[in-house]
Amino acid sequence: MKTSNKHKAFTLVELLITLAIMAVIFVAVGTAFDAAFKSYDINHQVNKVNTSHRNIVHLLGSSLRTAWNDPAIQTINVTDEGKELSFTDSNGRVMVYRFDPESNCLMVSVDGSDESVVLDNISQNSSTPIFDLEYPPLASGFAAGTVSKVVINFSSSYDGMNKTIATSVIPRNIIYGK
């Protein structure tokens, strides 16, 4: 019986072609993973910004909804060309929200305490004030000067993402006309 010394094997050319194909596949998979991670990072940043805005609007809205709305003593005021909102909340605390155009921050002060940054990287939308008040018609039965709605409007930017936040809050604690 004769045995053959010929072994079947891959040639060098076949091995190089296989390595080139595998390299292309690995590069494609790596590129897909990189794109997925970048997309995740961007979505995470967007979600973080949205959550931050939602929390601030909720906090401000909740406080304003329960604010005392007595036109005789003007418990809800907007000053400084719409850059400052002050009101007395349901616990009797004086809340002051102020937009600082130098630092592009929304600041809050409670009962005259030092200001704290509530939201940063915000700006005023063109000629629209950040805070504005609306009043009901005089024939509505409410005392003159009663605030019917507080309008909040600003822009925010993080890492090149720009968002416009616009909402309005209706105070519930209305002092009715006599």
Residue 161 confidence class, pLDDT cut points 50, 70, 90: confident
Range of the domain at 135: 36-174
Average pLDDT over residues 79-104: 90
Q: Are 94 and 108 in contact (CB under 8 A)?
A: no
pLDDT for position 178: 45
Residue 71 located in a structural domain: yes
Q: What is the pLDDT of residue 21?
A: 96
Instruction: Give a yes or no: residue 7 inside a domain.
Output: no
160 within a domain of the structure (yes/no): yes
On whether residue 147 sits in a domain, the answer given is yes
Q: Which of 3-7, 147-151, 152-156 has the lowest mean pLDDT?
A: 3-7
Helix, strand, coil shares, percent, the chain, to 5: 30, 35, 35
107 is a domain residue: yes
Residue 175 has pLDDT above 70, yes or no: no
The answer to whether residue 125 is domain-embedded is yes
Total domains, the chain? 1
- In the chain, count H helices and then E strands: 1, 11
Q: How far is CA 21 from CA 16, 26, 32, 126, in A?
A: 9, 9, 17, 56
Query: Is residue 16 included in any domain, yes or no?
Result: no
Residue 5 lies in a domain: no
Does 69 or 97 have the greater pLDDT score?
Answer: 97
